Amino acid sequence: MACPPAAHPSPERQPTVKVILASADVQRVVDRIAHQILEKTQGAAETVLLGIPTRGAPLARRLAARISTFEDVDVPVGVLDITLYRDDLRRHATRAVGPTQLPPGGIDGKRVVLVDDVLFSGRTVRAALDALNDVGRPASVQLAVLVDRGHRQLPIRADYVGKNIPTALAESVRVTLVDTDGADEVRLYGGTR
């Protein structure tokens, strides 16, 4: 029995997938952000990188490694779990709580650079600021993101942006990293051909 025509979208109605950053582009972007952090923080003095899981944590480790390569400076890296600080826990299934791992020297009095893969509504960053408040008192907080796709719902902006990608609300940005997904790539999904 054949499916009715409506069950198979026509080729011109297929959702589009566009590669925004390939593997080499992702590495270039990480290098650029590492250089910008070095410039804006006087050589990463008194700076700590805290990655927001899932993909912000490996990005923070990569940034620290690149900073070390460029300037022979070891920047402390940690992970900041924001699960219990999210404002959408009632709307979505409960996510597993991960560990918050602060570097040995802590964050008090330090410049903290929060690292995430995609900046969208700003709600993840708001949750990270709340979580950060519970683990210490940094001198200042900055934000580094691989991709800024716009559509902010809160007054939040990134200090370091790898790539600005104007998107429609119906579109989505998917970051994959070698560390978590087996390949480095940024794709834009949505729209129709």
Question: What pTM value is reported for the model?
Answer: 0.89
Instruction: Give the integer Cα–Cα distance in Å for 61 and 119.
Output: 18
Residue 183 has phi, psi (to 5 degrees) of: -155, 150
Classify domain 16-85+99-190 by CATH number.
3.40.50.2020
Per-position DSSP letters for 61-91, written without gaps between them: HHHHHHHHHHH-----EEE---GGG-TTTTT
Q: Is the four-CA dihedral 129, 131, 134, 136 of positive or negative sign?
A: negative
- pLDDT tens, per residue, the chain with 193 residues: 444 444 545 555 667 999 999 999 999 999 999 999 999 999 999 999 999 999 999 999 999 999 999 999 999 999 999 999 988 777 776 667 889 999 999 999 999 999 999 999 999 999 999 999 999 999 999 999 999 999 999 999 999 999 999 999 999 999 999 999 999 999 999 965 5
